[in-house]
Amino acid sequence: MHKVGIIGLGHVGATLAYSLVTEGLVDELVLIDKDEQLAVSQEYDLLDAQVFLPTKTAITIQDYHALKNASILVFCAGQISALGDDGDRFKELEITREIVEETVPKIKESGFDGIILSITNPCDVIVSYLQKLTGFAPSKVIGTGTMLDTARMKQAVGKKLSIDSGNIGGYVYGEHGDSQFVAWSTVTVGDQPILAWNQELDLAQLDEDVRDGGWKSFAGKGFTSYGIASCAIKMIRMILKDTKVIVSASVYDESSSVYYGRPAIIGKNGVESLIDYPLNELEQSQLMRSLEIIDTGLKKLL
C-alpha cells in the first residue's frame, strides 16, 4: 500500500493532493495544516471529486501519528505572501524556519521513517535544515530544487527552436533562486549539443528567459502551483515505482557539504547516487557563487 503525507495545504499542497487523487497514484493521503478548517475543507473537496473518479484514495487529516507507515512525506508549508513583489525566496526564511522547528518534533514523534520531499522555500536551505533537525540520512531528505527550473529551461529552449521541449536534455544547477544557472555544457537537442544544433543562439539571453519564466508564473497570481506540484508528482512516482530517473534536485553533495540543485538518480531509497557532469570553468565559478549563497542562508539558522 502506498501512503503519502502532505504538510501544508496551501496552493501547492492542495494542487499536489488533487493531482495524487486524480491520478490514483497512492492508496492513502495524510493531510496536515496549521489551519484545521482548511484541512477539513480540502478533505471534503477531494472526497467530492472522487465521486467522479475511477479510483479511490483514503484521506486522513490532522493526524501526525498516521504518518508512521507513510512512504513519503511532502513538506510544503510556508507563507507565500512573505515573498513580496520581487519573488525573493529568502524573504520566507524566518517564517519557514519557525515552521520547520515547530513541525520536525511532531514528525519524529510520529515514527515516520520514510523519505522527506521538501518544496518549501528557500528550498536548498530548508531541505538542509530539515535533514539536520530530523537526523535522517541525507539520501532520505530531498528538495525539488532546480527540477522546476530545468523544466523552465527546456520550455524556453524548445520555444526558441520551435521544437517540443521533450527533445531537450540538460540541467539547471545551484540554488533554486537568483543564483541558479543553466549548465549549457550539459544541454542537448536530441542527441546533439545545443550549439551544434544552432550556433547562433544567445545563451545568456536564454538563461534570462529561464528566470523570467519563473517570474511570469508568479507575478500575475502571487504564487506558483501547477509546475512545482507536477515536479513533486514526478518525484513521488520515481520513489514509489523505483524508476531511477536522473533529475536535477536539491540533494546533499558530500564534497561541498551543501544541498543544491544538481543531477541525481532518484529511486525507492531516495537519492540513489549523484551524477557528475564535467562543468566548464564559467559554470564552476557560477556554482561556487551559488553554493556560497546557500551556505550563508543556512548559517543564519544554525
Determine if residue 12 is labeled as part of a ligand binding site: yes
Determine if residue 8 is labeled as part of a ligand binding site: yes
Look up residue 246 and give its amino acid.
Answer: I
pLDDT at 71: 98
How many whole angstroms separate alpha carbon 289 and alpha carbon 295?
Answer: 10
Closest alpha carbon to 150 in 43, 234, 82:
234
**Triad 263, 151, 93: Cα angle to 5°:** 75
pLDDT at 83: 58
CB 153 within 8 A of CB 183: no
pLDDT at 80: 65
How many whole angstroms separate alpha carbon 138 and alpha carbon 128?
Answer: 8
Determine if residue 33 is labeled as part of a ligand binding site: yes
Mean pLDDT per 10-residue segment, the chain (302 residues): 96 97 97 97 98 97 98 90 59 89 98 98 96 98 97 94 95 94 96 86 87 81 91 98 97 96 98 97 97 94 85
Return the C-alpha cell found at 91.
524573504
Q: How are strands ordered across the β-sheet holding 115-118?
A: 58-61, 28-32, 3-7, 72-75, 115-118, 141-143, 245-253, 258-267, 270-274
SS3 content of the chain, % helix, strand, coil (to 5): 50, 20, 30
Determine if residue 119 is labeled as part of a ligand binding site: yes
Ordered structural domains, the chain, with CATH: 3-143 (3.40.50.720), 147-299 (3.90.110.10)
Instruction: Judge whether 176 counts as a catalytic residue.
Output: yes
pLDDT at 82: 58
The total number of residues written for the chain in this structure:
302
Query: How far is Cα of residue 72 from the mean position of the Cα atoms in its chain?
Result: 13
Determine if residue 13 is labeled as part of a ligand binding site: yes
Return the C-alpha cell found at 134.
530530523
pLDDT at 84: 56
Global pTM value: 0.95
Q: Which of 154, 176, 211, 262 is catalytic?
A: 176
How many whole angstroms separate alpha carbon 68 and alpha carbon 295?
Answer: 32
Determine if residue 10 is labeled as part of a ligand binding site: yes
Determine if residue 120 is labeled as part of a ligand binding site: yes
